[in-house]
Amino acid sequence: MSHLVFFAVVGSASAVVASLVFSIVQPSMRVWPSPPRNEPAWRVRHVLNRVTGVLVALAGVGALGLALLDRGSLQLPTGSALLVGTVLFVSGAVFGLWGYVQLGPAASQGALAPLEASGPYRFSRNPQYVGAIGVLLGFGLLCSSKLGLLAGAACSIWFLTAPFAEEPWLREQLGSRYNDYVLSVPRFLAFPRRG
């Protein structure tokens, strides 16, 4: 059962990463972020955007469930796995949720919104992605699960790739404000640069 779930998660993660790569290579036909109604083949691309969103969620939930099914397979020292896993999981959940609340549901789903540079967006241009990676990898460690960590890593590829599809679109939509923001805040996580 665990291996079946693992291959389903990896397959879903591969499909959504492929949609991101397509969006990066063919920005005029991108699937992520969701295209506006006036762009070519809008309906098909919008449906694909929604399907990939569901696949990302299912892959993430599958990776968490897999970590439970496969718990103990990694055979890490219990105290270390528990400490590191808890820190990653809790900090990832808090940071990602903070980013979601700060940005709002519509913008989090790819709708155009004003540039957000406060709250967690002072430390990362993508706090929701950073948080999701922390949750996935932290839970795999908490469960001391080989397959859970591998599935979490496979899902994390989407979160690491998504900014490369989003950033050209954000530059188009927000212009020089976004370019200035990029210069002062890292893509993933660090303290903001001064200057």
Give the domain ranges of the chain. 2-184
Q: Any idea which of 91-100, 104-113, 164-173, 181-190 has the lowest mean pLDDT?
A: 104-113
CA–CA dist 156, 132 (Å, integer):
8
- Reference 181, options 104, 127, 124; nearest CA is 124
Could you tell me the pLDDT band of residue 191, with boundaries at 50, 70 and 90? low
* CA angle 99–103–109, rounded 5-degree value: 100
The more confident residue out of 42 and 22 is 22
pLDDT tens for each residue of 118-174: 999 999 999 999 999 999 999 999 999 999 999 999 999 999 999 999 999 999 989
What's the residue count for the chain?
195
Instruction: Specify the pTM.
Output: 0.91
What is the 8-class DSSP label of residue 71? T
Residue 174's Cα: distance from chain center in Å? 21
pLDDT tens for each residue of 84-96: 999 999 999 999 9
Is 127 within 8 Å of 95 (Cβ atoms)? Answer: yes
